[in-house]
Amino acid sequence: MKRIAKIYRSDVLVIGGGGAAVMSAVQASRAGARVNLVSKGKAGKSGNTIMIGGGFGIDGEGAKEILGLPSNPESTRKKLFEKLVYSAFFLGNQKLQKLFVDKAPEAVAECLEWVKDSGSLFIYNPASSSWFTSGAAFGKAVARGVKRGKNIGLYEDILVTDIIKSDGRAAGAVGIDIYSGDIVRFDANAVIIASGGYQPFSVKNSNSDMTGDGIAMGLRAGASAADMEFLLHIGTILEPEYAKGSLLPFLLSMGTAPITAKMTDLDGAALPFPADKKYKTGPLTGKVNKVLMAQFYGKGIYEKFDTHGNAFYYDYSDYSDHEIREGFKKFADAHSKLHRDGYYNGIDLARLAEDIIKNKKRMKVTFGNEYSMGGLVVDTDFSVAGVPGLFAAGEVTAGTFGAFRSGDGLTEMLVHGWIAGKTAAGYAANTRPVSSGVEADAEEKAAALLAPFDRKEGVSPVEARKKLETICDAGFDFYRGGSRLEKAYAEITALRSGLDRLSVVPNERRYNLEWLNSVIVRNLALCAETGIYGALNRKESRGTHLRADYPEVNNREYLFNFIASLHNGAIKYDKRKPGSFYIQLDTENYPSVADFLAEKVLKES
Cis-peptide, bond into residue 272, ω within 30° of zero = no
Q: What is the pLDDT of residues 511-557, one digit of tens each?
A: 999 999 999 999 999 999 999 999 999 999 999 999 999 999 999 99
Assess whether pLDDT exceeds 70 at residue 1: no
What is the number of other CB atoms lying within 10 angstroms of the CB of residue 347? 18
Q: If 0-12 CB within 10 Å is exposed, 13-18 middle and 19+ buried, where does residue 569 land?
A: exposed
Q: If 0-12 CB within 10 Å is exposed, 13-18 middle and 19+ buried, where does residue 358 land?
A: exposed
User: With pLDDT > 70 as the criterion, what percentage of the chain qualifies?
Assistant: 97
Which residues neighbour 548 within 8 Å (Cβ) at sequence distance 6 or greater? 299, 302, 479, 480, 481
One-letter identity of residue 376:
L
Domains along the chain? Answer: 6-230+373-441 (3.50.50.60), 232-365 (no CATH), 451-568 (1.20.58.100)
Assess whether pLDDT exceeds 70 at residue 207: no
Confidence of residue 208 (pLDDT cuts 50, 70, 90): low
By the 8 A CB rule, do 107 and 90 touch? Answer: no
Compute the Cα dihedral for 414, 249, 270, 280 and give only its sign.
positive
Separation of alpha carbons 210 and 214, rounded Å: 10
Q: Rounded to an integer, what is the distance from CA 195 to the centroid of its chain?
A: 9
Separation of alpha carbons 483 and 485, rounded Å: 5
pLDDT at 432: 83
Beta-ladder partners of 183: 176
Q: What is the pLDDT of residues 138-185, one digit of tens each?
A: 888 888 989 888 899 999 999 999 999 998 999 999 999 999 999 999
Assess whether pLDDT exceeds 60 at residue 51: no
Q: Give mean pLDDT, residues 259-272.
A: 96
pTM (two decimals): 0.96
| Phi (first) and psi of residue 342, to 5 degrees | 85, 0
- For the chain, what's the residue count? 605
